[in-house]
Amino acid sequence: MRLRNIPGAREHLKESSYVIDTPEEWKGHWREYFKNDNPLRIEIGTGKGCFIVQMAQENPDVNFIGIEKYSSVLLRAVQKQEEAQLTNLVYLRYEAELLEDVFAKDEVDLIYLNFSDPWPKKSQQTRRLPCKEFLRLYSNFLGADGHIEFKTDNRELFDFAVDEIVPGGYQILQITYDLHNDPAMNAGNVMTEYEKRFSGKGNAICKCVIERSGAQVTLI
């Protein structure tokens, strides 16, 4: 998601109490940050925050962190939270590539990857958030029993992601190629901005839920 640059976005984020400016300082201490022992779920590439705000509203006993690299996009998510004022949701303006600096081993219980950018060229595939290199990175902070949930309407990206699961050190728990017509997997589904937009055009939504396989993965 690319928005035109919004003047003042960075400054607004810097001043907002819902954006953690130096998240590295909380590595290993996020439960202290939230002042409870509730599970921690993160959304990487949170966009304008529609999904994570609703998730945080519906799950007050879970802590949520939304992560987005572009200030002008994150600004929209932060403005939603400034209205909602939820105590279980904060944001980071951060790059997925650097998240090891922010989360300690086993600190995250669930990772959402919603409608990740497709990066269609083969030369760009290591930028796709569900690629095996990222999956291995996530293992450094996702708990052993943790899950990753990935949704997209982009069939090419989904097929790519499914092929990356085993090399990335994970296994499939649940999979569907038509989420909205799969009563079991769609139960309690919260739609993202992109999901509303693309399902509104008639596109089927693919979703998989994966867990760490525990297999020894050789880092390249």
The residues carrying an active-site annotation are 117
How far apart, in whole angstroms, are the C-alpha atoms of residue 211 and residue 143? 10
Q: Is 88 in the site for ligand SAM (CB under 6 A)?
A: no
Q: Is 154 in the site for ligand SAM (CB under 6 A)?
A: no
3-class DSSP state of 78: helix
| DSSP 8-state symbol, 45 | S
* Per-residue contact flags (x/-) with ligand SAM for residues 188 to 207, judged by CB under 6 A: ----xxxx------------
How far apart, in whole angstroms, are the C-alpha atoms of residue 58 and residue 192? 14
How far apart, in whole angstroms, are the C-alpha atoms of residue 193 and residue 1? 10
Q: Is 46 in the site for ligand SAM (CB under 6 A)?
A: yes
Distances, alpha carbon 122 to alpha carbons 127, 132, 136, 151, 168, in Å: 10, 14, 19, 21, 18
Structure tokens at 115: 């409608």
Q: Is 6 in the site for ligand SAM (CB under 6 A)?
A: no
CB of 113 to ligand SAM, least distance (A): 8
Q: Is 47 in the site for ligand SAM (CB under 6 A)?
A: yes
- By CB under 6 A, how many residues form the interface with ligand SAM? 22
Taking CB under 6 A as the binding criterion, the range among 8-16, 62-70, 153-161, 176-184 that sits at the site for ligand SAM is 62-70
Binding site residues, ligand SAM, CB under 6 A:
1, 44-47, 67-70, 73, 95-97, 114-117, 129, 192-195
